[in-house]
Structures are given as structure tokens and as C-alpha cells.
Structure 1
Amino acid sequence: MADLAITSMGLSGKVEVLPLEVNRDGDSYTLDTVNELSIKYPNTNFTLILGSDAAKSIGQWHKSAELLQKVKVLVINRPGSAPSDFDEVNIKALDISSTKVRKSISERENVSNLLPAKVVTFIREYGLYGSR
């Protein structure tokens, strides 16, 4: 739930964040989310945007073949990443991972250059990712 709140804060109203996976009991798979979104938004084509690391392992995801029939995949590569088998978006992406950000937070390093100020405040206030 904290990740959902943090994501919502960083988007400044430009994107709707739905708590579908947070509200689901048990395991939650991307395919389940796509199926639920397809019901909520019929006649909509969905694009799954992934980082290069996630794109490399998508074949190992739950029912990946079925998932790949239902969505287009768009990959944002980190600098120096090998090309993927999917369409790629040509934008300047930060060469930083969420794992690295969480580690920096837990080690009490300054992350104000990586996250919006209100997100950093929320993380510190609630002691998320070992920030206390």
C-alpha cells in the first residue's frame, strides 16, 4: 500500500493509479491485472511498459504467453542495456533502479535528486524502506 501511495504522489494527477493489485487477495499476477483492466476498459489496447531488466525475464512470468497476446510491450532501456525483442522507447532514462533507491534510503543517503520532495518526506515520515 505504501508503494501505491508513493507512486500516486510522484505522478501529480497526470496518471490514474488504481489499487487493483493491492486489493487482490493472494498472489497477484500481471495477467490478472490486464484481465481486470480489460473488463473495466473494454475495447482498449494496453501497453505494458517495462525496464530492460524486467523485459529480459518476462518469459518466466505467470502465463507469459497469454499475457503477451493481450498487451503490447514497450521497453525503456537503461544506458548500456542490450536491445530487447520488444519495441523500445527512445527517451533519456535515468541510470538508476528502484532497488538502488531503496538501498540508498535504508542507508540514509540523500535521495532528493532522485525523488520528488513530497515522496521523500512521506518515506522518511513513515519509516519506509528502513529509513528510520
Structure 2
Amino acid sequence: MRRVGLFGGSFNPPHQAHRALALQACETLALDELRWLPAGQPWQKPAGELASPEHRLAMVQTLIAGEGRFVVDNRELSRQGPSYTLDTVRELTAEQPGTDWFLVIGQDQYARFATWHGWRELLAAVTLAVAAREGQTVQVPPALAGVPHRCVVLPLPRHDINATDIRARVARGLPIAPLVGEAVARYIDQHSLYRAAPGH
């Protein structure tokens, strides 16, 4: 049975901590493939903060170049309406029956999982792979405590990198290459992304 990881997010922009988590997932879960799924309209985030779908897709492709287990799946970018992970999992399950699916998420997403669209069906369809920040333990959220689900923990080295800070650094003209890699930093500069002061 093929083992495939699903790694979604706004990737606004994608950065080295994303790549580190994806590589950790491949190793810990013995994945045959990890699919990066840039969100079209993340329903829990304000749309105004996002770079265009085309730019976010291109940045993910740039960040993961050269890693054979990584694949970019753009279905959520082309889908109309909000990006629901459940819709994606339904489509993939129909396309690739018999695959063992692992949904890679952070601890904060795990804590809020009961707010996700169709979360009970989603729990039945995938194994959750929850990234545990260094020195922290993963606790089952109270809302999920009575719901059977499969969960594995991904130990993650400490990375003090987040997209909000990266956008703020770009707006202030500060270097970001150590945070996103040379190629993504060059792409952001060439396309003048995030130059306006971020809202947060």
C-alpha cells in the first residue's frame, strides 16, 4: 500500500520550516510521496493577506525543487469557493483507492480540528501526523477525546520561522534568504511581493 502525505496551507510564502516539516514527515512516516496543497481560499484566513494563487504555487514549486518525494497538487487553487481539506481527500481517495493517507498538521491545527469542515469524516479517512515543537508534547484536544482517530507525532526541530514575520521583513526591506532559501527570496524580489506593509 502506498503511503502518501498531504501538506496543505496558504504558503504565503512557503519557507524553510515548511520544508523541514515535510522532510521530517517523509522520514518518520516512510512516505512514498508528500503532496503540497496550496489553499485557494483558506476559509479560516482573511483573503486580503494572500499573494495570488499563481505566485504561491510558483513559490512552492521553487522551494521543493530537487526533492523527488515532493509533489505539488494545485487542485485547491483551481477549485471554486473555500478550500476544504475534506473535498480534497474525497477526490484523492476516489483517484487512488487503497492509498494510506497521512494529513500533516501543526499542533495549533490539531487543537482546532473540530472546527474543520466535515472533521469527523476527515478523521475516518486519514491518519493525522501532528508536528510537535521541540520540547512540547501533543495533547488530544477535548473535542476529539471521545472520537476514535489515528494520530502520530512528528518530532520537529526548533524553527523560529513564520510567514507573518517574513512578510514584515520584506516590507521593511530586510533580508529573508535564510528563512525561505535563495531561490524563493529571489522570486519574491523579482515579483515585488509583500512590499506593502502587512496588516499584521
Aligned pair partner of 1:114 in 161, 179, 183? 179
The alignment covers a number of residue pairs equal to: 132
Aligned partner of residue 77 in structure 1, secondary structure: strand
The answer (yes or no) to whether the contact 1:108–1:131 under 8 Å persists in 2 is no
Aligned pair partner of 2:89 in 14, 18, 34? 34
Q: Does 1:126 align with 2:191?
A: yes
Q: Does 1:70 align with 2:122?
A: no
Give the Cα separation in 2 of the matches to 1:97 and 1:53.
13
Aligned partner of residue 88 in structure 1, secondary structure: strand
The answer (yes or no) to whether the contact 1:48–1:73 under 8 Å persists in 2 is yes
Q: Percent identity?
A: 30
Q: Does 1:55 align with 2:110?
A: yes
Greater RCO (CA < 8 Å, at least 6 residues apart): 2
Q: Larger % of strand: which?
A: 2
Residue 66 of structure 1, CA deviation: 1.0
The answer (yes or no) to whether the contact 1:124–1:131 under 8 Å persists in 2 is no
Aligned partner of residue 16 in structure 1, secondary structure: strand
Q: Does 1:12 align with 2:65?
A: yes
State TM-score, norm by structure 1.
0.87
Residue 13 of structure 1, CA deviation: 3.8
Residue 129 of structure 1, CA deviation: 2.3
Q: Does 1:96 align with 2:161?
A: yes
Instruction: Summarize the Cα distance change of 1:94–1:72 in structure 2 as closer, same or farther, 3 Å threshold.
Output: same
Q: Which moved more, 1:11-20 or 1:86-95?
A: 86-95
Q: Which moved more, 1:100-109 or 1:56-65?
A: 100-109
Aligned partner of residue 91 in structure 2, secondary structure: helix
Which runs of 4 or more aligned residues in structure 1 lie more than 4 Å from their structure 2 counterparts after TM superposition?
none
Amino acid at match of 1:20: R
